[in-house]
Structure 1
Amino acid sequence: MDEFSGNELDIALTALGGLVLILGLLSGFLKERLLLSDPLVAVCIGILLGPSGLHLLDLGHWGNPQSILEQGARLAIAIQLMGVALRLPKGYLLRHWKAQAVLLGLVMPLSCVASAVLVYFILGLPLWVALLVGAIVTPTDPVVATAIVTGKVAERNLPDRLRHTLSAESAANDGLAYPLVFLPILLLTRSPGEALGQWFGEILLWEVGATVILGAVCGYLAGRLLLRAERQHTIDKPSFLAYTLALSLFVLGGIKLLNGDGILAVFVAGSTFSLVVSGSERSQEERVQEAVDRFFTLYVFVLFGLGLPWREWFDLGWSGAIAIGALLLLRRLPVLFLLKSCFPHSLQRNGDLLFMGWFGPMGVAAIFYAMLAIRETQTESIWAIVSAVVCASIVVHGISAIPGAKRYGQLHSPQVPPTE
């Protein structure tokens, strides 16, 4: 390993600070005029500064690149999931449970199978490896999704029901992808009987089931304690932002120490917290919360740009390009139309299904699960296809977000019902 240079830290800090400053000043122009989303700009910065560009930064100088990407992605997901939970209308998940049940209980596993079938036949991967790749690319990404469903253009052209549905799904399925990813991991590393027993007993019951309960308890207690501190004036100057950020980190680390799914727990904690704390208190720092979310999540796309495996992409050849295109087009869209009748009536319009089917971006969650899978199975080939699909998703979904929202608005605005 090359020696880490102090100058590289200064370069990294300058790059990240400059990136957030530029996006803060020009994000509207970049998105609406140049069709460049925040994650896409961050990836480009990483490529420019990395070994394939100016070679000013190299993940190999900082430690194990896979570990850096895994833990960086894990932290970014947690921060973004708390932000999504707080931005959703109070009690949204309880009122709209049916749509989320279809998306998480039917669309998600079927999308996993569809993705696995595509990479199995196109790339010729072994069956369990294909299923593992399918599970990794299944969850939609809350960071990229936020760039699609927030902002002036999205708010003017997309109904709240569509924006909130995509945001809630992208947050929830990041944590619920955990058992989908671990099933093929266990089948690759253990005997079938042992794998299934551990998956049901350890993964489903404890790491997912108990995690949901613990996350809800943490969120409820955090909300009640905050309200009590304000009533009794034991808190000097309450900072909703600092409190929720601390809650994210506490739950993420604490649940992981208990061998639970910390990512899912953060979203559950945030959702429960938002039920306890009133809407007026939540909205006071909403814009500041979005800015901090941006700062604490964009860095992972810079890291991703630094670590892109260009040579491995080239080795995939034309079959890799075909697989990427097939995953973008077929992993989600056909499933949504197949299950059209299962959705609530308000989401059965073809335009809604088309928008939700296309804008199911892959990003930080796929990076995290890919690194976890490589660590558990030592199957390095996973990273080539997953990173290629994520990069393609960031590009095509970022570029098509503004035109897609405007087109939806042109076709469906007269029919859009009042906001929730």
Structure 2
Amino acid sequence: MIENYNLFLLVCGIAFLFGALFPIIFKRTPISLPMLQVSFGLLMGYWWTSLSFLNPMDNGLIIEKLTEIVVLVSLVGAGIKIDTELSWHLWRPTVRLLLITMPIGIFAMAVLGYYAFGLTLGAAILLGAVLAPTDPVLASSIQVGPPNTGGEDAPRFTLTSEAGLNDGLAFPFVYLAIKIAEAYNEGQQFTGEMLWSWFTHDVLWKIGAGLVVGIVVGKVLAKLVFSKYSHNTTISQGYVVIAITLLAYGLAEYVHSYGFIAVFVAAFAFRRSEREHSYHHKLHDFAEQSEGLLMSLVLVIFGMFLGQGLQAGVELTWRVYIVSFTFLLMIRPIGGFIALSGLNLPRTEKYAISALGIRGIGTLYYLSYALNQGFFNNEDALKLWIVCSIVILTSIFIHGLSATRLLKMMPNKPH
């Protein structure tokens, strides 16, 4: 039974009201909506500590399922709104961020987790894996605009496509961390045979199958939707958005592949069919509003969880703050610059892409999913929750204050 359930609904209602009035009241301020909602939740959580279901150590499954839904809706929205053609030249920055920047982030945070926080090897790799990907939910404010609304500049497109596809590298390392922790719990060594099994199944098969499932689902649904209604589509956009999400995710998970990849690719494949059709704009609007409502709910809950942790006296050492700022202000930007070096992009665009790697709700999902497998000890789990929460909170404020200014530095032209 959830204590103070009605009061919790009241708090969420106020948070939704913030979202409705935000463009009017805070339009001329540097404050972002996530900053406002997390701060509100934090204050409520600090002064009101009776919501036991917000304890991630005891209720990780609630966090996993709630954040999973938010990320899925966000991925659909990201895939639908991309106008950029599928060509190597235009997608090359995205590929470099995935293959260079993300591994750098995973390795650097794993080392920091191992030496700075005394995490076990599996937990250290998990820390790197959950913090490396750019969040598709909180990064929506710096992504491309609705479908067919004009040319997309390189920074916004690159950040959008990176957020949609980076699960392809995040999840394999999450599974690697889980397998190492499982072997450690059973008193075994993590052997080369286990590593090869991880590479062939969790990397090659799950990524490849996720891509195939996404393409098939997106193309088949597009064929059904546009075959009879190519000029006047009357099918409810809500049904289609939910169908793309659940069919792609469910089928991908059924064949043991990555559902997040499948959902983004399915939405993108759907978008490539009848790409000029106004129906895509309706789909985007529905997905964006759904994502905004769910994001508001999760951000308030996240803030309340932080507030209750502070009220309970959770220890925050100086190492947590140093590592958080190091990751956001040094590791990600440097990794981004390394990946984008040699590309024909203005220096300001490279800096914006490198600096705006926002961390958020996706991290909460990866972390809760891994810890719910039951192979990590409570000491590591608590450290992981503390570090990841502070990194997310820091990212919300740093990127909330800087994103608009960074993007204004960009030349407003399609790539």
Decide: shared fold, TM above 0.5: yes
SS at match of 1:279: coil
Q: What's the counterpart of residue 321 of structure 1? A: 321
Structure 1: which amino acid aligns with 2:322? I
Matches within 5 A, 1:60-99: 60=54, 64-89=58-83, 91-92=85-86, 96-99=90-93
Which one of the candidate residues 161, 165, 170 is aligned to 2:154? 161
Give the counterpart letter for 1:245 in structure 2.
I
Counterpart in 1 of 2:407? 405
Aligned 8 A contact 2:136 2:164 in 1: yes
- What corresponds to 1:200 in structure 2? 199
Q: Give the 5 Å matches for 1:337-348.
A: 337-343=337-343, 345=344, 347=345
SS in 2 for 1:186: helix
User: Hey, what does 1:24 align to over in structure 2?
Assistant: 20
Does 2:164 correspond to 1:171?
Answer: yes
Q: Residue 48 of structure 2 aligns to a residue in which SS?
A: coil
1:101–1:313 distance in 2 versus 1, CA, 3 Å: farther
Establish whether residue 386 from structure 1 lines up as the match of residue 378 from structure 2.
no
Displacement of 1:223 in angstroms is: 0.8
2-side partners of 1:232 and 1:405: how far apart?
A: 36
CA shift for structure 1 position 125: 2.9
1:204-257 Cα offsets, whole Å, 9 max, x none, are 233222121112111111111111242699x8x322343123321232233224
Pair 1:254 & 2:254 matched: no
What do the CA deviations read for 1:391-414 (whole angstroms, capped 9, x no partner)?
Answer: 1111211122233334x1xxx54x
Aligned to 1:220: 219
- Matched with 1:269 is 266
Query: Aligned in 2, Cα 1:168/1:231: closer, same or farther, shift over 3 Å?
Result: closer
Q: TM-score, normalised by structure 1?
A: 0.85
User: Contact (CA 8 Å) 2:75, 2:136: kept in 1 or not?
Assistant: yes
- Amino acid aligned to 2:302: F
Q: Which moves more between the two structures, 326-335 or 203-212?
A: 203-212
Q: Give the direction of change, closer, same or farther, for the CA distance of 1:63–1:372 in structure 2 (3 Å limit).
A: closer
Identify if the C-alpha distance between structure 1 residues 138 and 207 changes in structure 2 by more than 3 Å, giving closer, same or farther.
same
In 1, the alpha carbon distance for the partners of 2:311 and 2:142 equals 30
1:179 deviation in Å? 0.5
Task: Please say if 1:211 is aligned against 2:210.
Answer: yes
- Give the corresponding residue for 1:358: 355
Query: Is residue 256–residue 262 contact of structure 1 (8 Å, CA) maintained in 2?
Result: yes
CA separation in 2, counterparts of 1:312 and 1:134?
27
Identical amino acids, percent of aligned pairs: 27
Report if aligned partners of 1:11, 1:56 keep a CA contact under 8 Å in 2: no
Report the alpha carbon displacement of residue 57 of structure 1 after superposing the two structures with TM. 4.2
Distance in 1 (CA, whole Å) between partners of 2:56 and 2:349 is: 44
Inter-CA distance 363–129: structure 2 relative to 1 (3 Å threshold): same
* TM-aligned CA deviation for residue 304 of structure 1: 1.7
Name whichever of 329-338 and 13-22 sits farther off.
Answer: 13-22
What is the aligned-residue RMSD (CA, Å)? 3.1
Deviation at 1:279, TM superposition (A): 2.3
- Choose from 346, 368, 372 the match for 2:369: 372
Q: Distance in 1 between the 2:330 and 2:122 partners?
A: 20
- Residues 333 and 354 in structure 1, CA contact (< 8 A), matched pair in contact too: yes
Maintained 8 Å contact 2:135/2:360: yes
1:142 maps to amino acid: P
- CA shift, 1:328, in A, is 1.3
For 1:59 and 1:192, the matched residues in 2 are separated by 35
Given residue 82 of structure 2, which amino acid in structure 1 is its aligned partner? L
Where in structure 2 are there 5+ consecutive unaligned residues? 184-188
Deviations 1:23-42 (A, max 9, x none): 22323643x43322222223
Equivalent-residue separation in structure 2 for 1:87 and 1:159 (angstroms)? 10
In the alignment, what sits opposite 1:125? 119
- Residues 38, 147 of structure 1: 8 Å contact kept: no
| Matched-pair contact (CA < 8 Å) for 2:144–2:157 | no
Q: How far off its partner does 1:359 sit?
A: 0.9
Shift of 1:171: 1.5
Asked if 1:230 corresponds to 2:262, the answer is no
Contact 2:154 2:349 in 1 (8 A): no
More helix by share: 1
The change in CA–CA distance for 1:168 and 1:184 in structure 2 (over 3 A counts) is: same
Aligned residue in 2 for 1:104: 98
Map of 1:33 onto structure 2: 28
Aligned to 2:186: none
Query: CA deviation digits over 1:6-52, x for unaligned, max 9?
Result: x51x444444344333322323643x4332222222322332343x2
C-alpha contact 1:65 1:307 (8 A) present in aligned 2: no
Unpaired runs of at least 5, structure 1: none
| 1: CA distance, partners of 2:246 / 2:109 | 32
